[in-house]
């Protein structure tokens, strides 16, 4: 399997890079090409390993998203996120389950509810990619991102209960609710405790490399420990990521720089791979249902509509039926356009397929699990169907409704004000440390000029173009300084090639210049 695995990783990366170059949604293109490749004779069987996906792929993706999320914005939007992540998932589970039970002859209700739980959680990766590209408002992005962090926990817990019932474990309503509460509370507690512990260890290490390496262990440790005690591994990973992301200012700066680069690269590879795997499942799932593929495909397309209708039916009422007691003075009704975008962002992902592949082959009595092949195939149809439906139409919907963020000006103003106050604090601290030594006067003057330049640059971003098309002073500084860095780098490369300095010296100096250039590019 080494060569097929390398081919999968390289191919999915190449398609993702092509999609970015063409300006199209990478998940959508990956799924389409995966479907086409799966039909080519001789292509290896890329059957999903549910343990691999749920233990090695899902935790780092969730952890990275949690690190990059705003704890404060999530807390401010806790109500809509919680309603979607719990209420919408449970409603979709019931709606799709009942519809499948009615549409598929001989499919037991418990197995149909397993299907409902499997396809209930939308995967917001594709929707978030579209939203960032088209500039969705920050509040909408926060809700979609927050929902994707938590809804897998709800769906996987409901899935666990439904599978136990279908396998003959004898669960009742009370037992099912108990499992649900234990998973939620236990996962949240483990995640918070792990985040607290890792944060304290980071403060003791004082080593950026070790702190970053420790962070790589967090998602896997949190997920495995929580699952071992039958709690929600998803919630454990998410809570740990949110805690550590919020406390990141106390970490070593090297760890923050490394974490950002490492997790962005890991996200790119993992997301490309999982969306390619979705399309590559075509041959495997079709072979499982045999001649019933046509009928089940039609049923699956109907279930796509059921899942869509359930989400729309949930989003709009819960958006506008806010209790009167909580409508504070100045409260304004949310925009129906925002609700429309949220209700249409219902793309399913690889978690659904992995959960379906993880359905046991037999019940507790040893009999074949009822309707397993049908559930796996219908999960595939719903997953691919929602990806294609929403992926192709969501950008058009966003443009037609004119749902775009307008936070840039406010962000620039807030940054400039904060930078101004931070500059004053820095100068005040410099005055406290200035001992009046004439030898230090030049250094003090240079530090003051750097603080003033950074403050000026923040204010300049608020203004429009300079009359006559000229550059601002900060822009001129950045352009000239980058030219100087290019010249410096050429000298160091020449000295390295002539063996006048060692590679270790060259890499140390190059890293320092890279840090400065990255700062200039950001500004």
Residue 223 and residue 237 in contact, taking contact as beta carbons nearer than 8 Å: yes
Question: Can you tell me the mean pLDDT for 441-468?
Answer: 70
pTM of the model: 0.84
Query: Where residue 239 falls among pLDDT bands split at 50, 70, 90?
Result: very high
Lowest mean pLDDT among 255-259, 280-284, 296-300, 456-460: 456-460
Over residues 366-379, mean pLDDT = 90
Q: How far apart are CA 436 and CA 447, in angstroms?
A: 15
Alpha carbon of residue 341 to chain centroid = 18
Q: Which two tokens stand for residue 135?
A: 């500039």
Predicted confidence (pLDDT) per residue in 315-361, tens digit: 988 887 755 445 555 556 678 888 899 999 888 888 888 888 888 88
The values of phi and psi at residue 59, to 5°, are -55, -50
Q: What does the CA dihedral 489, 493, 494, 498 come to, rounded to 10 degrees?
A: 150
**Which is higher by pLDDT, 226 or 521?**
226
On whether the CB atoms of residues 473 and 452 are closer than 8 A, the answer is no
**Taking CA 78 as the corner, what is the angle to CA 73 and CA 80, rounded to the nearest 5 degrees?**
110
> What is the DSSP annotation of 73-129?
HHHHTHHHHHIIIIIIHHHHHHHHHHHHHHHSTT--HHHHHHHHHHH-S--HHHHHH
Residues 6+ apart with CB under 8 A from 371: 104, 106, 107, 108, 111, 112
Q: Which residue has the higher pLDDT, 149 or 365?
A: 149
Q: Distance from first CA to last CA of the chain, Å, rounded?
A: 46
pLDDT at 221: 96
Mean pLDDT of 180-207: 91
**pLDDT tier at 181, thresholds 50, 70, 90:** confident
- pLDDT 10s digits, 481-510: 888 888 988 998 988 889 888 888 888 888
pLDDT class of 182 with cuts at 50, 70, 90: confident
* String of DSSP letters for 163-195: HHHHTT----HHHHHHHHHHHHHHHHHHHHHHH
Tokens of 405: 């963020």
Rounded to whole angstroms, the Cα distance separating 263 from 271 reads 12
The mean predicted confidence, pLDDT, of the chain is 84
What's the sign of the alpha-carbon dihedral 441, 444, 445, 446?
positive
Average pLDDT, stretch 394-398? 88
Nearest-CA neighbor of 360 among 176, 159, 220, 171? 159
* Distant-in-sequence, close-in-space partners of 398: CB < 8 Å, separation ≥ 6: 130, 131, 134, 136, 341, 404
Is 379 a residue whose pLDDT tops 90?
yes
509 contacts: CB under 8 Å, gap ≥ 6: 492
Mean pLDDT of 280-296: 87
Q: What region, left, alpha or beta, does residue 123 occupy, with left being phi > 0 and alpha being psi -120 to 50 degrees?
A: beta
- Asked if residue 8 has pLDDT above 90, the reply is no
Whole-number Å distance between alpha carbons of 213 and 155: 31
Q: Residues 31, 32, 35, 39: what is their CA dihedral angle, to the nearest 10 degrees?
A: -150
Distance, in Å, from the CA atom of 175 to the CA atom of 173, rounded to the nearest integer, reads: 6
Buried b (16+ CB within 10 A) or exposed e, 428-455: eeeeeeeeeeeeeeeebeebeeebeebb
> Residue 467 has what pLDDT?
47
Which segment, 269-273, 365-369, 377-381, is predicted with the most confidence on average? 377-381
Confidence of residue 517 (pLDDT cuts 50, 70, 90): confident
116: pLDDT strictly greater than 80: yes
Check: CB of residue 296 under 8 Å from CB of residue 374.
Answer: yes
Percent of the chain with pLDDT over 70: 90
Question: Chain-centre distance of CA 349, in angstroms?
Answer: 12
b/e code 379-404 from CB counts within 10 Å (16+ = b): bbbbbbbbbbbbbeebbebbeeeebe
pLDDT tier at 91, thresholds 50, 70, 90? very high
Contacts of 103 (CB under 8 A, 6+ apart): 299, 302, 303
Q: What is the pLDDT of residue 325?
A: 43
């Amino acid at each position: 399997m080494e060569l097929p695995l390398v081919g999968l990783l390289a191919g999915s990366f190449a398609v993702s890079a092509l999609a970015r170059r063409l300006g199209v949604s990478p998940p959508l293109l990956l799924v389409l090409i995966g479907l086409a490749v799966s039909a080519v004779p001789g292509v290896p069987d890329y059957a999903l390993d549910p343990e691999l996906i749920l233990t090695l792929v899902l935790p780092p993706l969730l952890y990275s998203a949690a690190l990059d999320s705003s704890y404060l914005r999530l807390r401010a939007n806790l109500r809509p996120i919680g309603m979607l992540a719990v209420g919408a998932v449970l409603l979709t589970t019931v709606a799709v389950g009942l519809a499948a039970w009615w549409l598929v002859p001989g499919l037991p209700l418990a197995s149909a509810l397993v299907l409902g739980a499997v396809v209930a959680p939308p995967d917001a990766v594709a929707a978030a990619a579209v939203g960032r590209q088209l500039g969705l408002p920050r509040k909408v992005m926060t809700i979609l991102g927050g929902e994707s962090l938590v809804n897998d926990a709800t769906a996987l817990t409901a899935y666990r209960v439904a599978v136990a019932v279908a396998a003959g474990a004898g669960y009742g309503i009370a037992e099912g609710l108990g499992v649900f509460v234990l998973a939620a509370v236990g996962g949240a507690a483990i995640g918070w405790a792990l985040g607290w512990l890792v944060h304290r260890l980071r403060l003791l290490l004082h080593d950026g490399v070790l702190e970053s390496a420790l962070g790589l262990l967090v998602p896997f440790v949190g997920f495995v420990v929580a699952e071992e005690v039958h709690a929600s591994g998803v919630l454990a990973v998410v809570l740990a990521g949110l805690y550590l992301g919020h406390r990141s200012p106390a970490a070593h700066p090297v760890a923050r720089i490394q974490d950002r680069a490492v997790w962005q690269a890991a996200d790119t590879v993992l997301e490309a791979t999982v969306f390619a795997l979705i399309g590559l499942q075509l041959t495997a799932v079709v072979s499982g249902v045999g001649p019933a593929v046509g009928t089940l495909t039609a049923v699956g397309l109907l279930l796509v509509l059921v899942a869509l209708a359930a989400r729309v039916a949930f989003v709009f009422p819960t958006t506008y039926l806010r209790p009167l007691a909580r409508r504070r003075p100045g409260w304004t009704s949310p925009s129906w356009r925002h609700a429309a975008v949220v209700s249409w962002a219902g793309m399913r992902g690889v978690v659904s397929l992995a959960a379906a592949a993880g359905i046991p082959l037999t019940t507790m009595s040893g009999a074949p699990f009822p309707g397993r092949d049908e559930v796996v195939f219908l999960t595939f149809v719903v997953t691919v169907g929602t990806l294609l439906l929403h992926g192709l139409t969501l950008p058009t919907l966003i443009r037609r409704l004119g749902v775009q963020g307008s936070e840039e000006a406010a962000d620039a103003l807030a940054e400039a004000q904060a930078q101004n106050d931070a500059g004053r604090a820095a100068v005040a601290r410099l005055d406290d440390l200035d001992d009046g030594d004439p030898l230090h006067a030049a250094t003090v003057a240079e530090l003051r000029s750097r603080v003033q330049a950074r403050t000026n640059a923040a204010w300049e971003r608020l203004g429009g173009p300079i009359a006559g098309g000229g550059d601002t002073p900060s822009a001129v500084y950045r352009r000239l300084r980058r030219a100087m860095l290019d010249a410096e780098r050429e000298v160091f490369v020449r000295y390295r090639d002539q063996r006048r300095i060692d590679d270790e010296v060259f890499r140390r100096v190059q890293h320092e210049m890279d840090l400065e250039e990255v700062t200039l590019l950001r500004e």
